[in-house]
Amino acid sequence: MTLPPPAMYPVACEVNGEKRLVRVRAADILLSTLRDQLGLTGSKPGCENGDCGACTILVDGLPVKSCLMLTVEAEGKQLTTIEGLKNSPVQHAFVRYQAFQCGYCTPGFIMNCEGLRNAHPHADEETIRVWLESNICRCTSYEEIQHAVRDVFTPKT
């Protein structure tokens, strides 16, 4: 007996400022669609369970772990991946403070920090510390990451 092909659903959304239309199965996760259909491999699969934050992107400006979001839920949303950042002060700060070793976690940390800028433009040290708890760095570059993110939120004279 041959099984029928799975039903496919069209999903229209904006990705990094461009309108995109994808066709997905009901259970497809956004992380896979971004990487496999749209070729945006900056968002990384880590735990694929919502724990590590390597897959973090912005959905309507706020950080979301794309391994936990179904692609069909992205209908009508504005998505930003690490590829969509242009001249981001967060990226510059990560480079300045060398806030990475292997770099696998870096896109997730940067996108989470971009979300923090949107949600709390004047975040204090405690807010930064708590916000970054949703990301894990297996190379343990936490100190440098904290320095970089704090720098982003330090008013420049």
Indicate the residue among 65 and 153 with the shorter CB distance to ligand FES: 65
The burial of 104, by beta-carbon neighbours within 10 Å (0-12 exposed, 13-18 middle, 19 or more buried), is given as: middle
Indicate the residue among 22 and 54 with the shorter CB distance to ligand FES: 54
Choosing from 17, 103, 119, 124, the residue that interacts with ligand FES (CB under 6 A) is: 103
Indicate the residue among 24 and 54 with the shorter CB distance to ligand FES: 54
DSSP 38: S
Site string for ligand FES, 61-100 (x = CB under 6 A): ----x-x--------------------------------x
Does 45 sit near ligand FES (CB under 6 A)? yes
Does 115 sit near ligand FES (CB under 6 A)? no
* Token pair for 128: 């930064």
* Token pair for 35: 């990487």
Indicate the residue among 21 and 92 with the shorter CB distance to ligand FES: 92
Rg over alpha carbons for the chain, rounded to the nearest Å, is 17
Does 137 sit near ligand FES (CB under 6 A)? yes
CB 72 within 8 A of CB 9: yes
DSSP 113: H
CB 12 within 8 A of CB 79: no
DSSP lists the bridge partners of residue 21 as 12
- Contacts with 156 (C-beta within 8 Å, 6 or more apart), sequence order: none
Does 127 sit near ligand FES (CB under 6 A)? no
Binding site for ligand FES (CB under 6 A): 45-48, 50-55, 65, 67, 100-105, 137-139, 141
